[in-house]
């Protein structure tokens, strides 16, 4: 409705108006998914999500993968990644096929009840034993099946792999019987996967929304990559993490944190399951031992839903990293004031300076690891850039000559240091242009206009004994400012790529 111009949905003349709480919950969910901005209007991402006739959670997941993969110009396995993303979306839309087999057969139960009236006591005992043996065999078969398909990072990817094997099997009925999978659920999941894949390629984005179009191949390319048989999980670790991020983006308000060393109540103490605290739920929730994620029991996970039996059990769990919560659920985070220690830092890939802050997540205020936030204040941003420049974090040639400086670059970060001549002169010069010099790009622009800009201000930071070498240093600085980040910091870029 937002996409067709109905900004105040609560004022829309519904024939049967939905409850106000349902509308506010829907808006809260869309805000968490970054489909709405702080004014309740659709973001570019929200407009793209509205093109998909599916749950916003699923469209957010799909579009997150598209966005991430668009930043990678060439990746040979990109179409396989999209194929698994679509399969994951399909698996998140239906019941768990492993669990459904354990609900038992209604037909068998009815037959047993009918036969109880005519069978002798011995015959009934025999049938009971047979039924127990059947269930035991089924349980063992399902256990082996879960082990075969299990992905320790995600129940969702476990089912996606089972779906791939199901579609590639010669006989789907025998395949489901052998692996204790619910045939009808698997058939519906397979049909839905194909429909979702068509939806991805039927969307036409233009202008600002081009970033949401798939550029690595056609629908046939994705289907071809998906239909390559494998006797083990075919996703690489970095690809699993990419899908984990996408699932996190779609279910970012359904986060749970593992509870450590907490004494449980009498009933809960007997439960053979890992205890978690859910973000939006007050009571303790449980990760069942049948979950693929239960062995690793990660500190944070997202889930698709809670299933209530005697206790609330997590369903559809996926392990997530704490920094993904800040990245994909920023609206649920609260950030501290910038920290003085650790010091600000410069990121060469984004060409920005950042402060460290302490994020807390959700209503329970879970403390997350330190997070780098862009510095918004002009004065602090310029000081942080000046510090990074002198440290050699912007132009690496300065790093090897820090020992010849008259004062440590960190002194520039102290507010009282602005009264010192070398500090004040440099900061004032960085701020006096019509556009402040707070990035490598702005430094390059300044030197294009005037190659002597900042010459005396930087020179004043060096000891007398080094000044005869300063001109050589200045020439290196002029050369390095023209390089792109990968050329300036080849080792750092290689390390960051490896980490990803």
Q: What is the pLDDT of residues 222-237, one digit of tens each?
A: 999 999 977 778 899 9
**pLDDT of amino acid 110:** 37
**pLDDT of amino acid 265:** 52
Contact 365/255 with Cβ under 8 angstroms?
Answer: no
The 10s digit of each residue's pLDDT in 377-386 is 999 999 999 9
The 10s digit of each residue's pLDDT in 236-294 is 999 999 999 999 999 999 999 999 865 455 555 556 789 999 998 989 999 998 899 99
DSSP string, 321-375: -HHHHHHH-GGGEEEPPPPSSSPPEEETTTTEEEEEE-EEETTTTEE---EEEE-
Summarize the confidence of residues 433-446 as an average pLDDT.
Answer: 93
Residue 144 pLDDT > 90: no
Residues 6+ apart with CB under 8 A from 422: 406, 407, 457, 460, 461
The 10s digit of each residue's pLDDT in 407-416 is 999 999 998 8
Residue 206 to residue 214: CA distance in whole angstroms: 12
Confidence class for position 361, pLDDT limits 50, 70, 90 = very high
Angle at 253 between CA 251 and CA 257, to 5 degrees: 100
**pLDDT of amino acid 339:** 96
E strand or H helix at 385, and its extent? helix 378-391
Listed by start position, the domains of the chain span: 51-250, 255-324, 345-352+376-499
**pLDDT of amino acid 22:** 67
Nearest Cα to 151, choosing from 200, 196, 98? 98
CB atoms within 10 A of CB 243: 26
**pLDDT of amino acid 104:** 39
* More confident call, 209 vs 457: 457
Residue 60 to residue 45: CA distance in whole angstroms: 8
Q: Lowest mean pLDDT of 4-13, 32-41, 279-288, name the range.
A: 4-13
């Amino acid at each position: 409705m937002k996409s067709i111009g109905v900004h105040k949905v609560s004022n829309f003349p519904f024939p049967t108006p939905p409850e106000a709480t349902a509308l506010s919950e829907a808006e809260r969910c869309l805000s968490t998914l970054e489909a709405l901005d702080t004014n309740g209007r659709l973001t570019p991402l929200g407009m793209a999500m509205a093109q998909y006739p599916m749950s916003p959670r699923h469209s957010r997941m799909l579009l997150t993968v598209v966005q991430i993969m668009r930043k990678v110009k060439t990746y040979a396995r990109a179409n396989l990644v999209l194929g698994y993303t679509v399969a994951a979306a399909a698996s998140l839309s239906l019941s768990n096929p492993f669990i459904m087999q354990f609900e038992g057969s209604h037909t068998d139960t009815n037959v047993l009840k009918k036969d109880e009236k005519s069978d002798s006591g011995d015959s009934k005992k025999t049938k009971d034993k047979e039924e127990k043996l059947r269930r035991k065999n089924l349980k063992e078969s399902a256990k082996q099946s879960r082990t075969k398909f299990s992905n320790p990072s995600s129940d969702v990817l476990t089912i996606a792999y089972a779906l791939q094997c199901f579609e590639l099997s010669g006989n789907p009925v025998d395949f489901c019987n052998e692996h204790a999978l619910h045939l009808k659920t698997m058939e519906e999941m397979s049909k839905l996967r194909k429909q979702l894949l068509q939806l991805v390629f039927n969307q036409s984005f233009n202008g600002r929304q081009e970033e949401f179009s798939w550029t690595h191949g056609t629908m046939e390319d994705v289907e071809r990559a998906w239909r390559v048989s494998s006797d083990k999980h075919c996703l690489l670790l970095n690809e699993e993490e990419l899908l984990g991020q996408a699932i996190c983006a779609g279910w970012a308000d359904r986060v749970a944190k593992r509870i450590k060393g907490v004494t449980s109540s009498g009933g809960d103490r007997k439960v053979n399951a890992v205890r978690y605290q859910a973000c939006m739920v007050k009571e303790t929730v449980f990760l069942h031992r049948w979950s693929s994620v239960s062995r690793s029991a990660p500190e944070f996970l997202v889930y698709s839903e809670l299933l209530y039996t005697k206790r609330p059990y997590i369903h559809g769990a996926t392990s997530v990293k704490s920094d993904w919560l800040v990245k994909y659920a920023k609206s649920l985070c609260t950030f501290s004031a910038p920290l003085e220690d650790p010091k600000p830092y410069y990121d060469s890939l984004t060409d920005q300076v950042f402060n460290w802050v302490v994020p807390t997540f959700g209503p329970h205020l879970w403390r997350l690891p330190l997070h780098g936030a862009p510095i918004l204040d002009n004065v602090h941003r310029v000081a942080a850039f000046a510090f990074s420049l002198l440290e050699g974090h912007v132009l690496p040639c300065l790093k090897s000559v820090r020992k010849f400086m008259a004062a440590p670059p960190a002194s520039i970060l102290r507010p009282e240091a602005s009264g010192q001549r070398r500090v004040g002169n440099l900061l004032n010069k960085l701020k006096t242009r019509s556009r402040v010099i707070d990035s490598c790009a702005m430094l390059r622009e300044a030197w294009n206009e005037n190659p002597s800009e900042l010459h005396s201000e930087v020179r004043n930071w060096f000891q007398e004994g080094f000044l005869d070498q300063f001109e050589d240093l200045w020439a290196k600085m002029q050369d390095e400012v023209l390089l792109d980040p990968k050329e300036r910091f080849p080792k750092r870029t290689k390390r960051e790529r490896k980490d990803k």
